[in-house]
């Protein structure tokens, strides 16, 4: 009987499920016994109690008498903020560095190669700690703050940048205009003529002009130097700046390699075929090369973006309170470790799964555009 | 075209022996697609069968069912007196006694020719290495490439690889040999060396089932030709009858297409 | 396509040929308007950044002067600190007189790693060699049998990083193979179990897995069975490595054509024999470049164990910096540690490139 293929398959699967269930039951029962022995309660009620933990800096407004769930949200917002900024900057820089690596100019290609190799071969945590240790060595005290760009100051106390503030309605309208412009760009990608390429910029320009005419509450708060301190603007602490700069340097190296691989993946034959059809260079690039490149680039780029979210946990090395650091504090403070662990696992899985499903959606889109 | 020395006297099958292969009312589906319809086929010991037909007619599937690379859903397949069921032990037993040669050779690229030949005798038949190597060299001489024993499959020509594949199957001393379009993936100039090997094998009285389009080969060695179309056995006859007087419209059409 | 390059002028102008190399580099740097702009841009960048870096790194640096005072005065890097503290940086708080032991361990592990990635040395005896080496390593590190005993709490620095990497990968490798096979299984519960396990580990930051391991294990297990910090971190790293290796090996398995399975079935090989003799040797060979990359990722990841309180390279660096006699040259120390990691993973990456270029053997 045991040698019958189907019976055997069923027996093996049942055995596996039984072993897994027994293992889980053993873990759960020992855990509960351990918790009971130490007098630790279980449940998510603690989330609404005042946390009394200190979060040194936050994107959201947070006070230590706020409840636990708000502390968690604050940490999560910090993680999302860091990840988003790093993703945007490293994508832009990675594009430039990746293409420059293919240049025939040895000075440019060589410098970019050094960047890529350093980023790919050093542990990000060492990079962050190193950058953090440089902070006080390289940057001047507040009184002699550097002013590399108008409105941007750098000193031992971190960066000060102009703050953009707008009311909710304005922000909403801006997001809608951006979304329309993006949709127009997608629509234009598969069409010819002089109108489509102009569609996206036009929508954006009309949107911004409309906002300005409607006298939207949109203002830029420029920092001013008062001799001993800065007034206005937005402070970026050394910790936050280190995380942003370090992870951007690190991720750029990987994005650059992906971009380079994407460019190289489209063979010379495609350019030759385009030329032989009499297409101009720009059209070949837009209609033939880039669609094929995107297909190669998007999947690995997406896993890099997921890596950014994972690497943002390294914030802990320089003391920036990201989600994991906040959760760690909460667990040690409230001793709700089981619940805390479930929140940690759930949040990271949700973040990364939503990122990859967004990428899958985009992947399907470019596949359709291709046809 | 082929040497007349390879012509042989067909063995007289003993009717009291159990047949080598017996299929009774066999049916197979891929999902909703009915690949094999009510197949009844008996192959006697020492018999040589050539199966032909247009692509997609189910001719490869039928021989892949015999060593259960494919599973049939209805009816019976009895190989050497053992019925094929889900019983893994029986499947293993049957596979030991059936050799198979594939269209794309399917040699193991990470092993030398000699290791390809000795792998199954050592691990399935539990033969000692020295003895397995001796057997392997014997069959490599039979297929006329003993000097290639220590090369890797990638270093051989297609025709040589297919002869190695035949030798690999023979090393298990099978009772039945299955050939799944053994010459279809070969360059034209290599077809003859493989066919000659198969003709020599036929001369030894091996039970053989060949899916092939080589009609000259079929005429020379086959005891019967089976013509299949759309999952059915349309016609089954001796080669001389089949080639000179095909009975069915579909067989006639097929023959005019393949002979031109 | 070379995005930013236009073809060079094919014919050199008469009279300029003798400038050879100079002319070639001039064309590369200024041959087209775009290249000229790039040269200018990167030239300015390098001229403004390289000289100050050189001053700090070499010219104004304290290289050999062993007294901390020299470092306080100098404006450049304090390399004498690295030199003076090298033992502590590399081996942490391991007893002074016994430091030759972790030194041998490091050399042994690195040599074995380089040896093992060569496809030529893939054989069952390699596993035996590793087991023997690990026993030797453990004896050297922990002592006993004639050597002074050293508890794991005093282990530190580079050997900790290397041991964690090697043991985690070594244990994770067979687990990864099983997971990869499970993920391709025809049995639904096995397949789903493998997918859930692999994808959830890959969806989590290693740091969170390390935290969970150090928080949860004391709750899961009775006090008496609770392993020390070192083993807990090792378990977390192993689970992490197994999930990633499983995917790498699955990639290799997917490259094996169906005909190989059919040929193995046709000669009568049963499932596990088929995997062991026919499929896995080919799949792993295909996956070697990806495997080498995973090893690099693991070497880099191991640096995270400092967060759960293990004494790896970074923690040794921090401990060394706490010496009040010295002016705490943090940048130099972390540059040195970064350089060690860089050397390890860069050489491994070049090795992987070499294997990839050479292609699969004997095909």
Distance CA A81, CA A189 (A): 30
Measured between CA atoms, the residue of chain B closest to residue C272 is B123
Residues 6 or more apart whose CB falls under 8 angstroms from that of C347 comprise none
Residues of B in contact with C273 (CB under 8 A): 123-124
Token digits of residue B200: 């020599």
Instruction: State whether residue C267 sits within 8 Å of chain B by CB.
Output: yes
Option in C259, C265, C277 nearest B119 (CB): C277
- End-to-end, the C-alpha distance of chain A in Å comes to 53
Note whether B89 contacts A6, CB cutoff 8 Å.
no
Distance CA B83, CA C346 (A): 60
For residues A6-32, give the mean pLDDT. 88
pLDDT at residue B163 greater than cutoff 90:
yes
CATH superfamily of A68-143+237-366: MetI-like (1.10.3720.10)
Token digits of residue A272: 């030759």
pLDDT at C14 (0 to 100):
46
pLDDT at A215 (0 to 100):
65
Give the chains touching C; criterion: ≥3 Cβ pairs < 8 Å. Answer: A, B
| Residue C176, Cβ density class (10 Å: 0-12 exposed, 13-18 middle, ≥19 buried) | buried
pLDDT at residue C325 greater than cutoff 50:
yes
Distance CA C76, CA C68 (A): 13
pLDDT at B6 (0 to 100):
42
Question: Measuring CA to CA, which residue among C171, C98, C99, C97 is closest to residue C134?
Answer: C171
Distance CA B178, CA B176 (A): 7
Instruction: State whether residue B85 sits within 8 Å of chain A by CB.
Output: yes
Instruction: State whether residue B87 sits within 8 Å of chain A by CB.
Output: yes
Distance CA B53, CA B60 (A): 10
Find the helix or strand (DSSP H, E) in which B216 lies: helix B215-221
For residues C173-201, give the mean pLDDT. 91
Distance CA C26, CA C23 (A): 5
Note whether C266 contacts B124, CB cutoff 8 Å.
no
Distance CA C29, CA C24 (A): 9
Token digits of residue C136: 């030797």
Distance CA C85, CA A352 (A): 42
pLDDT at residue B101 greater than cutoff 90:
yes
Measured between CA atoms, the residue of chain B closest to residue C286 is B110
For residues C244-269, give the mean pLDDT. 92
Residues 6 or more apart whose CB falls under 8 angstroms from that of A132 comprise A238, A239, A242, A246, A317, A318
For residues C250-256, give the mean pLDDT. 90
Instruction: State whether residue C122 sits within 8 Å of chain B by CB.
Output: no
Q: What is the pLDDT of residues A152-209, one digit of tens each?
A: 888 877 888 877 766 666 777 777 777 777 777 666 655 555 566 677 677 777 777 7
Note whether A4 contacts B90, CB cutoff 8 Å.
no
Note whether C1 contacts A133, CB cutoff 8 Å.
no
Measured between CA atoms, the residue of chain C closest to residue A349 is C203
Mean confidence (pLDDT) of chain B:
89
Classify residue C77 by its DSSP letter. Answer: -
C342 to chain A, minimum CA–CA distance in Å? 5
Q: What is the pLDDT of residues A217-226, one digit of tens each?
A: 667 777 777 7
pLDDT at A371 (0 to 100):
38
For residues C68 and C328, the answer to whether their CB atoms sit within 8 Å is: no
C274 to chain B, minimum CA–CA distance in Å? 10
pLDDT at A167 (0 to 100):
67
Residue of C123, C267, C272, C277 best to disrupt the B interface, most CBs of B under 10 A: C267
Residue C216: pLDDT band with limits 50, 70, 90: confident
Distance CA C141, CA C105 (A): 8
Note whether C1 contacts A289, CB cutoff 8 Å.
yes
**Distances, alpha carbon A258 to alpha carbons A262, C22, C299, in Å:** 6, 34, 22
Token digits of residue A309: 């979210």
Note whether B119 contacts C270, CB cutoff 8 Å.
no
Residues of C in contact with B172 (CB under 8 A): 267-268
For residues B70 and B61, the answer to whether their CB atoms sit within 8 Å is: yes
Residues 6 or more apart whose CB falls under 8 angstroms from that of C303 comprise A123, A125, A126, C161, C312, C313, C314, C341
Distance CA B68, CA B159 (A): 27
Instruction: State whether residue C101 sits within 8 Å of chain B by CB.
Output: no
Note whether C342 contacts A263, CB cutoff 8 Å.
no
Predicted TM-score (pTM) of the model is 0.82
Q: What is the pLDDT of residues B165-212, one digit of tens each?
A: 999 999 999 999 999 999 999 998 999 999 999 999 999 889 999 999
Residues of A in contact with C25 (CB under 8 A): 106
For residues C322-330, give the mean pLDDT. 83
Note whether C215 contacts A129, CB cutoff 8 Å.
no
Distance CA C75, CA C60 (A): 6
Distance CA B125, CA B131 (A): 11
CATH architecture for residues C82-358: Orthogonal Bundle (1.10)
Residue A151: pLDDT band with limits 50, 70, 90: confident
Residue A147: pLDDT band with limits 50, 70, 90: confident
Note whether B87 contacts A6, CB cutoff 8 Å.
no
For residues B236-249, give the mean pLDDT. 91
For residues C236 and C210, the answer to whether their CB atoms sit within 8 Å is: yes
pLDDT at A186 (0 to 100):
65
In percent, the amount of chain A with pLDDT more than 70 equals: 89
Residue with tokens 């923690």: C315
Give me the torsion for CA of B148, B154, B157, B159, rounded to 10°: 90
Give the domain ranges of chain C: 30-65+72-79, 82-358
Measured between CA atoms, the residue of chain C closest to residue A306 is C203
Residue C113: pLDDT band with limits 50, 70, 90: confident
- End-to-end, the C-alpha distance of chain B in Å comes to 17
Distance CA C132, CA C145 (A): 16
pLDDT at C180 (0 to 100):
94
Phi, psi (degrees; rounded to nearest 5) at A16: -60, -50
Tally the C-alpha atoms within 13 A of residue A52's C-alpha that lie toward its C-beta.
Answer: 6
Question: Measuring CA to CA, which residue among A237, A227, A231 is closest to residue A156?
Answer: A237
**Distances, alpha carbon B95 to alpha carbons B45, C261, C276, in Å:** 17, 13, 19
Phi, psi (degrees; rounded to nearest 5) at A55: -115, 115
Classify residue C267 by its DSSP letter. Answer: T
pLDDT at residue C360 greater than cutoff 70:
no
Q: What is the pLDDT of residues C121-153, one digit of tens each?
A: 777 788 888 889 989 998 998 888 878 888 877
Residue C1: pLDDT band with limits 50, 70, 90: very low
Residue C13: pLDDT band with limits 50, 70, 90: very low
pLDDT at C4 (0 to 100):
41
Helix (H, G, I), strand (E, B) or coil at C311: coil
pLDDT at residue C10 greater than cutoff 80:
no
pLDDT at residue C347 greater than cutoff 60:
yes
Residues of B in contact with A7 (CB under 8 A): 86
Measured between CA atoms, the residue of chain A closest to residue C340 is A122
* Highest mean pLDDT pick, A39-43, A213-217, C10-14, C163-167: C163-167
Residues belonging to chain A with any Cβ–Cβ distance to chain B shorter than 8 Å: 3-8
Q: What are the E-state strand segments in chain C?
A: none
Measured between CA atoms, the residue of chain B closest to residue A5 is B86
B71 to chain A, minimum CA–CA distance in Å? 12
| Residue A315, Cβ density class (10 Å: 0-12 exposed, 13-18 middle, ≥19 buried) | buried
Residues of C in contact with A133 (CB under 8 A): 330-331, 333-334
pLDDT at residue A362 greater than cutoff 60:
yes
pLDDT at residue C194 greater than cutoff 70:
yes
Give chain C's length. 363
- End-to-end, the C-alpha distance of chain C in Å comes to 31
Lowest mean pLDDT among A203-207, B35-39, B231-235, C129-133: A203-207
Lowest mean pLDDT among C13-27, C239-253, C318-332: C13-27
Residues of C in contact with A134 (CB under 8 A): 331
Note whether B120 contacts C269, CB cutoff 8 Å.
yes
Distance CA A314, CA A145 (A): 28
B214 to chain C, minimum CA–CA distance in Å? 23
Residue with tokens 């039970």: B207
For residues C35-64, give the mean pLDDT. 85
Residue B3: pLDDT band with limits 50, 70, 90: very low
In percent, the amount of chain A with pLDDT more than 90 equals: 25
pLDDT at B1 (0 to 100):
37
pLDDT at residue C84 greater than cutoff 70:
yes
pLDDT at B49 (0 to 100):
94
Residue A243: pLDDT band with limits 50, 70, 90: very high
Residue A86: pLDDT band with limits 50, 70, 90: very high
Distance CA A343, CA A68 (A): 12
Q: Higher model confidence: residue C326 or residue C253?
A: C253
Option in B92, B108, B109 nearest C268 (CB): B92
* Highest mean pLDDT pick, A159-173, A296-310, B110-124, C225-239: B110-124
B67 to chain C, minimum CA–CA distance in Å? 7
Residues 6 or more apart whose CB falls under 8 angstroms from that of C311 comprise C92, C93, C155, C156, C157, C160, C319
Size of interface B-C (CB pairs under 8 A): 67
pLDDT at residue C15 greater than cutoff 50:
no
Give the chains touching B; criterion: ≥3 Cβ pairs < 8 Å. Answer: A, C
Distance CA C57, CA B176 (A): 77
For residues C188 and C120, the answer to whether their CB atoms sit within 8 Å is: no
Q: Give Rg (Cα) of chain B.
A: 18
State the DSSP string of B79-115. ETTEE--SBHHHHHHHHHHEEEE-TT----TTS-HHH
- Count the neighbouring beta carbons within 10 Å of the beta carbon of residue C339: 14
Residue of A14, A42, A107 best to disrupt the C interface, most CBs of C under 10 A: A107
Per residue, the 3-state secondary structure of chain A, as one string, reads: CCCEHHHHHHHHHHHHHHHHHHHHHHHHHHHHHHHHHCCCCCCCHHHHCECCCCCCCCCCCCCCCCEHHHHHHHHHHHHHHHHHHHHHHHHHHHHHHHHHCCCCCHHHHHHHHHHHHHHHHCCHHHHHHHHHHHHHHHCCCHHHCEEEECCEEEECCEEEECEEEECHHHHHHHHHHHHHHHHHHHHHHCCCCCHHHHHHHHHHHHHHHHHHHCCCCEEEECCEECCCCEECCEEECHHHHHHHHHHHHHHHHHHHHHHHHHHHHCCHHHHHHHHHCCCCHHHHHHHHHHHHHHHHHHHHHHHHHHHHHHHHHHHHHCCCCCHHHHHHHHHHHHCCHHHHHHHHHHHHHHHHHHHHHHHHHHHHHHHHHHC
Residues of A in contact with C200 (CB under 8 A): 345, 349
Residue of C253, C261, C263 best to disrupt the B interface, most CBs of B under 10 A: C263
């Amino acid at each position: 009987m045991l040698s019958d293929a189907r019976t055997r398959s069923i027996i093996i699967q049942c055995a596996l499920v039984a072993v897994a269930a027994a293992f889980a039951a053993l873990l759960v029962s020992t855990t509960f016994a351990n918790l009971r022995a130490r007098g630790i309660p279980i449940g998510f009620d603690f989330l609404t109690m005042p946390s009394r933990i200190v979060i040194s800096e936050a994107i959201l407004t947070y006070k230590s008498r706020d409840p636990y769930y708000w502390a968690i949200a604050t940490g999560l917002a910090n993680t999302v903020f860091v990840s988003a900024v790093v993703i945007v900057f490293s994508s832009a820089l990675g594009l430039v560095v990746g293409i420059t690596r293919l240049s025939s100019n040895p000075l440019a290609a060589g410098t970019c190669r050094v960047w890529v190799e350093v980023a790919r071969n050093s542990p990000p945590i060492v990079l962050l700690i190193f950058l953090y240790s440089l902070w006080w060595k390289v940057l001047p005290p507040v009184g002699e703050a550097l002013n590399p760009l108008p409105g941007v100051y750098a000193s031992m106390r971190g960066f000060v940048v102009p703050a953009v503030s707008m009311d909710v309605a304005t922000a909403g309208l801006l997001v809608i205009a951006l979304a329309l412009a993006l949709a127009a760009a997608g629509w234009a990608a598969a069409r010819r003529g002089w109108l489509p390429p102009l569609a996206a910029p036009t929508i954006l320009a009309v949107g911004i002009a409309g906002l300005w005419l409607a006298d939207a509450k949109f203002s830029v708060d420029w920092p001013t130097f008062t001799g001993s301190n800065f007034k206005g603007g937005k402070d970026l602490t050394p910790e936050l700046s280190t995380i942003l700069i370090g992870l951007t340097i690190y991720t750029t190296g990987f994005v650059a390699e992906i971009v380079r691989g994407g460019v190289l993946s489209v063979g010379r034959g495609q350019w030759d075929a385009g030329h032989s059809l009499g297409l101009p260079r720009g059209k070949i690039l837009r209609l033939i090369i880039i669609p094929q490149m995107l297909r190669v680039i998007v999947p690995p780029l997406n896993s890099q973006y997921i890596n950014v979210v994972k690497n943002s946990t390294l914030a802990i090395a320089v003391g920036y309170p990201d989600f994991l650091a906040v959760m760690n504090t909460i667990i040690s403070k409230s001793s709700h470790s089981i619940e805390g662990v479930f929140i940690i696992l759930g949040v990271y899985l949700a973040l990364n799964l939503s990122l990859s499903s967004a990428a899958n959606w985009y992947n399907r889109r470019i596949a359709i555009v291709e046809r | 075209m082929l040497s007349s020395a390879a012509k042989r006297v067909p063995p007289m099958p003993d009717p009291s022996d159990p047949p080598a292969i017996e299929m009774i009312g066999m049916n197979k589906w891929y999902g909703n697609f009915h690949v094999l319809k009510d197949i009844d086929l008996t192959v006697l010991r020492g018999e040589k069968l050539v199966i032909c037909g247009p692509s997609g007619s189910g001719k490869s599937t039928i021989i892949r069912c015999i060593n259960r690379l494919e599973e049939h859903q209805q009816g019976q397949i009895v190989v050497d007196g053992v019925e094929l069921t889900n019983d893994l032990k029986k499947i293993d037993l049957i596979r030991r006694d059936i050799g198979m040669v594939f269209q794309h050779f399917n040699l193991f690229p990470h092993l030398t020719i000699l290791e390809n030949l000795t792998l199954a005798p050592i691990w399935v038949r539990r033969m000692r290495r020295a003895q397995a190597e001796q057997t392997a060299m014997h069959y490599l001489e039979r297929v006329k490439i003993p000097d290639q024993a220590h090369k890797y499959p990638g270093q051989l020509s297609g025709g040589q690889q297919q002869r190695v594949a035949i030798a690999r199957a023979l090393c298990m001393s099978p009772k039945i040999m299955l050939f799944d379009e053994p010459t279809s993936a070969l360059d034209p100039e290599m077809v003859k060396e493989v066919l000659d090997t198969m003709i020599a094998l036929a001369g030894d009285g091996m039970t053989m089932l060949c899916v092939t389009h080589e009609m000259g080969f079929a005429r020379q060695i086959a005891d019967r030709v089976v013509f299949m179309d759309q999952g059915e056995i349309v016609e089954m006859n001796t080669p001389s009858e089949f080639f000179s007087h095909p009975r069915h419209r579909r067989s006639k059409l097929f023959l005019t297409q393949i002979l031109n | 396509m070379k995005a930013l390059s236009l073809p060079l002028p094919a014919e050199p102008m008469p009279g300029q040929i003798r400038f050879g190399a100079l002319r070639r580099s001039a064309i590369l740097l200024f041959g087209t308007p775009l290249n000229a702009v790039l040269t200018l841009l990167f030239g300015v960048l390098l001229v403004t950044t390289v000289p100050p870096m050189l001053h700090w790194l070499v010219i104004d640096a304290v290289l050999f002067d062993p007294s901390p005072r020299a470092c306080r005065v100098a404006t450049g890097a304090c390399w004498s600190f690295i030199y003076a503290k090298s033992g502590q940086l590399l081996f942490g708080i391991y007893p002074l007189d016994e430091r030759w032991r972790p030194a041998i361990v490091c050399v042994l592990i690195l040599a074995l790693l380089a040896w093992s990635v060569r496809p030529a040395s893939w054989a069952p005896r390699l596993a035996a060699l590793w087991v023997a080496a690990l026993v030797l390593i453990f004896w050297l590190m922990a002592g006993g049998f004639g050597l002074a005993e050293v508890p794991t709490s005093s282990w530190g620095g580079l050997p900790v990083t290397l041991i964690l990497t090697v043991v985690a990968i070594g244990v994770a490798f067979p687990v990864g193979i099983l997971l990869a096979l499970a993920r391709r299984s025809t049995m639904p519960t096995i397949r789903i179990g493998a997918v859930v396990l692999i994808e959830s580990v890959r969806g989590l930051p290693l740091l969170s897995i390390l935290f969970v391991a150090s928080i949860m294990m004391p709750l899961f297990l009775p006090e008496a069975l609770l392993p020390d910090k070192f083993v807990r971190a090792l378990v977390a790293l192993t689970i992490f490595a197994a999930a990633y290796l499983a995917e790498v090996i699955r990639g290799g398995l997917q490259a094996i054509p169906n005909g190989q399975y059919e040929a193995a079935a046709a000669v009568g090989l049963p499932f596990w024999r088929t995997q062991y003799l026919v499929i896995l040797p080919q799949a792993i060979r295909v996956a070697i470049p990806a495997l080498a990359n995973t090893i690099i990722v693991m070497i880099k990841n191991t640096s995270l164990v400092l967060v759960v309180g293990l004494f790896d390279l970074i923690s040794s660096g921090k401990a060394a910096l706490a010496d009040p006699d010295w002016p705490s040259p943090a940048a130099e120390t972390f540059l040195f540690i970064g350089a060690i990691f860089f050397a390890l993973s860069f050489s491994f990456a070049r090795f992987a490139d070499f294997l990839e270029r050479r292609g699969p053997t004997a095909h």
